[in-house]
């Protein structure tokens, strides 16, 4: 089959007196945000190229069709399709969700407390069918405090422009105007006369909070807050004690909050603490006290407490610890829960408010597991809450835990219908030295029959951006590779917060290359310790993890058998220089500002994957993207693929697959997600010669 070729049109770009060539910049449309909402506005020549690439990918993966079907059935077979969530109570009803064997989307149910009559108030599959759309993304699904109204937000393109609807549950009728171009989140007022929402601006940034009166069919909504900085986005939430609304403005590095009382007729948000660069804070209220979760004078966060937001007499409630990330608080009448993260492991603590005694809740003797707490009940006058855990080999287990008696009752266990024995798997947590001597955690999961003699293939997963930590929780999908003698390793590299805020700072801005080096040294460690061998590793990462893959493959391609790159951020210099794109301005403190800062420019230029493609052999590569993705535009992976075809000197696979009806998260629905995983895994097994 003929290899697709994207037409070249040379453009000489220049910044800070440095020039470079770009043969494919022409595919970026100035009206790109319109294209995301309406694919008919896509340049026909570019559309034709993407379709050719899809055909090319399908041709080269046609020998995996049966394997993809086998993987799909296998992965779906590990899911209890007809499942129900645990119920949570508000004052009048119990609410829960369920999935069915046939359906792709969840159903929301409720029944009055002490009643057996079950009422269906939302059915995603029926809603999608009614709209006759291919993509169906639900942003938010909220029931009013009086249980009369259901508010929901929908994205039917994948571009994350959400439309808000409000319907009366009893009659199923829409009772107010549709609200377009929102971020998707919905907050009801306590009197259920209004909803609060954030509106997206022309650059897809949420910078305004509006109040909409239910029943308003034509008049404009009330603007109650506007963020002036283009780098900050806003959101609104109700305090735990339901006495205040907090409006939060933030980028990735700095935050600021305003508040107003729930009973204010005309909301008048008041500033709590003026923003200071690099200072993050988040305030909540409970039992006439205010709790501030902040990194001010506490790099890895602390929690302060005050009796007043006017006087702000802050004092320490939970002190800072070095390289231990302190989480925020959750409140019951007599108990306060909080979390800590250190060395890529999470812990849960509960404090008795009356005695002041705090204890860690320990679930398992496994060396690696992830605790979690389900905290949705409206009644806070209780000693019981749903708490659970999972590990890389143990499916999720949820207990009803009593803080007073310390008794726990297993109430839900993630069932694997096709069968699963945790004892068949070995989970290891190791540390390796990176290029600068820093110890980096690594979680390794393998089948007990897999030999550690260098013969096994290994999938090395990484991300390392925005302070996002990679939790070592259970994934039933990964078993399809692990059961086929492919070891799964997750590198907890810098750029996340697995070892606190410092871990993030050491992997961003002009420290970004630490992220890449950590990943490379993880690969070298795994080779040295005979988990795998050079040329047997498959790299995998998505979005900013795709930036990681691109930077690493340009530097050490011979370490890898292949790369799987999902919606990869590979033309990072071009995106950073374009301040009109949705995420760029808000990410200056993550990646730098190349346009205004020469040092940032030179640093980004030195690692940006698209700009650093070389004449050399590359491993097999599968690159996936989505046409309506507003976070990483489809033209980044398209340009990256086209340029790779010009430069690479090997005959290895280079495949680009574009979802023409999806966004950053890929296809919508349960089956759609499984199909994408099956494709990725089939590619991995093909290049590992395990067809």
Which residues are known catalytic residues? 543, 629, 664
Are residues 297 and 279 in contact, defined by beta-carbon separation less than 8 angstroms?
no
Beta-bridge mates of residue 276: none
CA distances from 622 to 457, 466, 542, 564, 667 (A): 17, 24, 11, 5, 17
Question: What's 496's DSSP letter?
Answer: B
- Residue 292's SS3 state is strand
What lies within 8 Å, CB to CB, of 653 at 6+ separation is 60, 562, 620, 621, 622, 683, 687
Query: Is residue 602 exposed (0-12), middle (13-18) or buried (19+ Cβ within 10 Å)?
Result: middle
What lies within 8 Å, CB to CB, of 562 at 6+ separation is 538, 539, 619, 620, 621, 622, 652, 653, 683, 684, 687
Question: What's 39's DSSP letter?
Answer: G
Beta-bridge mates of residue 490: 443, 461
Beta-bridge mates of residue 151: 142, 166
Pairs from 87-94 (Cβ < 8 Å, separation ≥ 24): 88/374, 88/376, 88/377, 89/113, 89/377, 89/378, 89/379, 90/143, 90/145, 90/147, 90/377, 90/378, 91/378, 91/379, 92/147, 93/147
Question: What's 394's DSSP letter?
Answer: S
**Kind of pairing between the strands at 173-174 and 187-188:** unpaired
Q: Which residues of 563-583 are buried (b: 16+ CB within 10 A; e: fewer)?
A: bbbbbbbbbbbbbbbeeebbb
CA distances from 544 to 325, 568, 609, 674 (A): 22, 6, 12, 22
- Count of other CB atoms within 10 angstroms of residue 661: 17
Q: What are phi and psi of 575, to 5 degrees?
A: -65, -40
CA distance 531 to 487: 8
């Amino acid at each position: 089959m003929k290899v697709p070729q994207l037409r070249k049109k040379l453009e000489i770009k220049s910044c800070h007196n440095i020039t470079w060539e770009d043969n494919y910049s022409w595919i970026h449309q100035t009206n790109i945000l319109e294209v995301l909402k309406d694919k008919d506005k896509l340049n026909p020549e570019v559309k034709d190229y993407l379709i050719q690439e899809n055909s090319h990918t399908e041709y080269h993966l046609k020998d995996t069709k049966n394997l993809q079907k086998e993987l799909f059935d296998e992965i779906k077979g590990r899911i209890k399709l007809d499942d129900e969530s645990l119920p949570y109570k508000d004052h009048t009803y119990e609410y829960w969700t369920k999935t069915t064997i046939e359906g792709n989307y969840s159903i929301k149910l409720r029944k009055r407390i002490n009643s057996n009559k079950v009422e269906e108030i939302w059915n995603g599959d029926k809603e999608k069918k009614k709209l006759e759309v291919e993509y169906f993304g639900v942003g938010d699904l909220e029931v009013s405090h009086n249980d009369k109204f259901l508010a929901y937000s929908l994205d039917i393109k994948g571009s994350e422009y959400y439309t808000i609807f409000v319907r009366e549950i009893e009659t199923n009728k829409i009772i107010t105007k549709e609200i377009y171009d929102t971020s998707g989140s919905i907050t009801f007022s306590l009197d259920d006369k209004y909803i609060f929402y954030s509106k997206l601006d022309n650059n897809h940034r949420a910078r305004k909070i509006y109040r909409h009166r239910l029943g308003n069919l034509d008049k404009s909504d009330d603007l109650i807050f506007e963020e002036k900085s283009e780098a900050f986005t806003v959101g609104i939430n109700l305090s735990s004690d339901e006495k205040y609304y907090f409006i939060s403005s933030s980028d990735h590095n700095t935050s600021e909050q305003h508040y107003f009382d729930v009973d204010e007729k005309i909301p008048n948000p008041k500033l709590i603490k003026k923003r200071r660069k690099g200072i993050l804070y988040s305030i909540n209220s409970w039992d006439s006290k205010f709790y501030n979760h902040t990194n001010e004078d506490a790099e890895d966060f602390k929690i302060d407490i005050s009796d007043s937001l006017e006087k702000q007499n802050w004092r320490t409630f939970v002190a800072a610890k070095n390289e231990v990330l302190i989480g925020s608080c959750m409140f019951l009448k007599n108990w306060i829960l909080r979390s800590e993260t250190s060395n890529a492991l999470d812990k849960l603590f509960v404090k008795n408010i009356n005695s002041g005694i705090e204890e860690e809740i320990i679930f398992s003797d496994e060396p690696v597991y992830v605790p979690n707490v389900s905290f949705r009940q409206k009644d806070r006058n209780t000693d019981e809450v749903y708490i659970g855990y999972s590990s890389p080999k143990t499916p999720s287990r949820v207990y009803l835990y009593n803080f007073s008696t310390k008794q726990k009752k297993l109430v839900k266990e993630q069932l694997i219908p096709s069968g699963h024995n945790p004892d068949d798997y070995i989970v290891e947590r190791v540390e390796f030295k990176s290029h600068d001597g820093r110890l980096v955690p690594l979680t390794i999961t393998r089948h007990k029959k897999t030999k550690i003699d260098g013969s096994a293939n290994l999938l090395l997963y990484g991300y390392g951006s925005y302070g996002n930590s990679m939790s070592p929780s259970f994934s039933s999908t990964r078993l399809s590779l692990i059961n086929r003698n492919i070891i799964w390793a997750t590198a907890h590299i810098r750029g996340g917060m697995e070892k606190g805020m410092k871990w993030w700072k050491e992997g961003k801005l002009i420290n970004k290359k630490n992220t890449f080096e950590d990943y490379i040294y993880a690969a070298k460690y795994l080779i040295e310790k005979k988990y795998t061998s050079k040329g047997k590793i498959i790299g995998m990462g998505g979005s900013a993890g795709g930036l990681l893959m691109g930077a690493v493959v340009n530097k050490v391609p011979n370490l890898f058998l292949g790369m799987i790159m999902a919606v990869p951020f590979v033309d990072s210099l071009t995106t950073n220089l374009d301040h009109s794109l949705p995420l760029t301005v808000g990410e200056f403190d993550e990646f730098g500002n190349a346009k205004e800062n020469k040092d940032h420019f030179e640093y980004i230029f030195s690692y940006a994957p698209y700009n650093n493609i070389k004449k050399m052999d590359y491993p097999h590569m599968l690159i996936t993207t989505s046409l309506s993705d507003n976070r990483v535009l489809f033209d980044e992976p398209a340009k990256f693929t086209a340029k790779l075809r010009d430069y690479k000197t090997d005959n290895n696979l280079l495949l680009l697959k574009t979802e023409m009806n999806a966004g950053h998260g890929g296809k919508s629905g349960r089956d759609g997600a499984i199909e994408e995983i099956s494709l990725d895994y089939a590619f991995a097994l093909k290049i590992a010669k395990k067809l």
